[in-house]
């Protein structure tokens, strides 16, 4: 579906050097703090901004060979893009019918009603949550094969985020060949949705792992200074000082449980892994 290989983009105070792969039927999450490079990577993947090195392949074609017909296979929600907010949903519906031959008008309007989105009110008067719901509805309402969603749950409360994630689950259940590339700095949102996660920091991918592996095999070790000195560090990914000694991230939680019964070994959640990978020494 999509491949970025050693894609580079240089700004005055920021450099992107990114590789990722999204296959058919796969849901991949790009996780990183604000400013880490998520939006830049997405814009390059869509051909919206040029890149200065590496390759981008979308639907098996170099990005500069993508046609308008290919673009109809995409469902996109980017933070700084969308329809003019002076338009109403009624007006947007007419435009979507012209843009996309497979636009599902009845589905789209029914979902707008479910979410209590007024049809005749300018989008500029919508709340943040209403705009987010609308953006995702637009992306999924024309039988897109690939969704590219940049921070679709940013700034939303738990209920609104849950509604959007449910929408995406419903979209996937309709056709198991569909794919999603989604970014967020709220890793727990992606934990329940994604097959694998890429962690990006300062423009570089620092970790790529299947979500199941992250949850089932990674762990946090809490050790004293003496325990740390005697520890086999072959499977330590990151470590940094703590009040009790050291806190360590490992991909082999079970190894340390079996071989160091005196050491505290805890299951790591996604947020802890992110913090350790981006903040550990």
Range of the domain at 17: 2-213
| Domain end (from 213, 233, 253) | 213
Residue 278 sits at φ, ψ, to 5 deg, of -100, -10
User: pLDDT for 178-197, tens place per residue?
Assistant: 999 998 877 777 888 899 99
% of residues, the chain, pLDDT over 90: 55
Residue 209 and residue 245 in one domain: no
Determine the distance from the C-alpha atom of residue 56 to the mean position of all C-alpha atoms in its chain, rounded to a whole number.
18
* Rg from Cα positions in the chain: 21
Residue 180 and residue 249 in one domain: no
User: pLDDT for 96-110, tens place per residue?
Assistant: 998 899 999 999 999
3-state class of 163 per DSSP?
helix
CA distance 20 to 181: 10
Q: What is the CATH number of the domain that holds 135?
A: 3.40.50.300
What pLDDT is stored for residue 44 in this prediction? Answer: 92
Per-residue pLDDT, averaged over 135-158, amounts to: 88
| Domain end (from 213, 228, 257) | 213
DSSP letter (8 states) at residue 58: E
| Domain end (from 213, 232, 265) | 213
How many helices and strands in the chain, by DSSP H and E? 11, 14
Residue 187 and residue 259 in one domain: no
Query: How many domains, in total, are found in the chain?
Result: 2
Beta bridge partners of 210: 196
CA distance 210 to 27: 11
Token digits of residue 49:
């901004």
CA distance 92 to 239: 51
Residue 181 and residue 261 in one domain: no
What pLDDT is stored for residue 80 in this prediction? Answer: 64
């Amino acid at each position: 579906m999509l491949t970025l290989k050693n894609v580079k983009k240089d700004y005055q105070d920021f450099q992107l050097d990114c590789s990722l792969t999204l296959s058919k039927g796969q849901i991949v999450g790009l996780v990183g703090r604000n400013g880490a490079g998520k939006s830049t990577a997405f814009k390059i993947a869509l051909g919206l901004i040029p890149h200065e090195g590496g390759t981008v392949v979308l639907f098996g074609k170099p990005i500069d060979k993508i046609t308008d017909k290919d673009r109809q296979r995409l469902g996109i929600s980017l933070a700084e893009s969308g329809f003019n907010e002076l338009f109403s949903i009624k007006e947007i519906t007419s435009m979507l019918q012209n843009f996309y031959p497979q636009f599902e008008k009845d589905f789209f309007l029914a979902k707008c009603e479910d979410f209590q989105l007024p049809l005749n009110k300018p989008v500029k008067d919508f709340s943040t949550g209403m705009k987010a719901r609308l953006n995702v509805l637009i992306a999924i309402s024309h039988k897109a094969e690939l969704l590219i969603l940049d921070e679709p749950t940013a700034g939303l409360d738990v209920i609104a985020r849950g509604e959007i994630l449910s929408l995406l689950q419903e979209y996937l259940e309709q056709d198991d060949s569909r794919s999603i590339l989604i970014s967020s700095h709220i890793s727990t949102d992606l934990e329940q949705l994604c097959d694998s996660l890429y962690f990006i920091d300062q423009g570089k991918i620092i970790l790529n792992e299947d979500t199941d592996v992250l949850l089932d095999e990674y762990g946090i070790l809490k050790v004293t200074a003496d325990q740390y000195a005697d520890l086999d560090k072959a499977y330590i990914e990151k470590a940094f000082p703590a009040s009790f000694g050291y806190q360590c991230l490992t991909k082999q939680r079970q190894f340390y449980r079996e071989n160091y019964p005196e050491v505290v070994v805890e299951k790591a959640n996604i947020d802890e892994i992110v913090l350790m990978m981006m903040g550990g020494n």
